[in-house]
Structure 1
Amino acid sequence: MTQSLFAAEGDTSEYVTTATNDTGNFSPVLEISPDDGVGLILRNSVAVGQKLVGFPVYADLRDSNGDPLPNNTRVALAYESPTDNQWQIVSVPLANIRSFNEKSITDQQKKDNVDSVKLELEAQGTPEQKAGQTLEIRDIDTAYVLVESSVQIDHSKSEIYVDSDAVEEVDIE
């Protein structure tokens, strides 16, 4: 079953909590932690757009004044298991958020624009091999959407969505 993961103007989906980023370094803005007995599988390929590899993250990131975060803000996905000392970045970071700032979330979802908002899991091999990669988030693990920005996000004015076709909820008991 597909699963929606989002934070939108102060509201969040199941398994998601928000955090305010530290400025100047990659830091979490979303924490994704499945409940006991639940796992989430994040696919490195969603059949939308031209790029075979990657999963869309749609966003409108704003500060406390309602202004967009700077274009040079970077976005990445991180993962942490109980044996890790801290989270590790597991995606190729988006170099900037120009597509988030220049296009509405509806426009980001259009076939001609979606590739510019896809995150790719770090993977080796051909595009076909990379597309087959997944990130398994068990009930004891945590995944994070990170930003690196000179400005802090205000979740009451921001929206972040992971494309639901990229996320599958599974029973792990």
Structure 2
Amino acid sequence: MNTDHGAGRITVSMELDGRHRSEEIPPHTVLLDLLRDRMGNTGVKASCERGVCGACTTLIDGVPTASCSLFAFSADGCSVETVAGQSGSGEPGPVQRAFAECGGFQCGYCTPGMVMLATALLREHPAPTDQQIREWISSNICRCTGYGMILDSVRRAAELIREEA
């Protein structure tokens, strides 16, 4: 992190969805604002802005993180993954496809965070139990109460990932 920019600005560099990105920002900038406002990544949702709803979940070096409650400088030098990076070829990735196929979203607001949690879960537990899925998604709030379809979506995503392997 470079702090030689005067006027209290710092440079934050990261690998964002597989691409190197660098921005000069005020030090009090939270990661959510950097991603959405400076880097144009509006797939990361702003909701509670307190780190409790999960809509803004990103993966920082593979770990699910509420981007609304993390100063952006904390991600300096890290790999940051968002829902926008889940489709490497421009086509939806397996977790996104499973959510669409199984109706794992209603209003869609929680979906980016749920997709990121499911991605992290399936990397750690390729064949998760229903209990593991429930535990992992418990940090995200679905206001439409689509939890049954979200469980179906995560199970289906696990199947798609195994089929593609």
Q: Where on the TM-score scale, by shorter chain, does this alignment land: which range?
A: under 0.3
**Which has the higher relative contact order, 1 or 2, with Cα contacts under 8 A spaced 6 or more apart?**
1
Using structure 2 for the length normalisation, give the TM-score: 0.23
Work out which of the two has the higher radius of gyration on C-alpha atoms and give 1 or 2: 2
The structure whose residues are more often helix, as a share, is: 2
Using structure 1 for the length normalisation, give the TM-score: 0.23
The structure whose residues are more often strand, as a share, is: 1
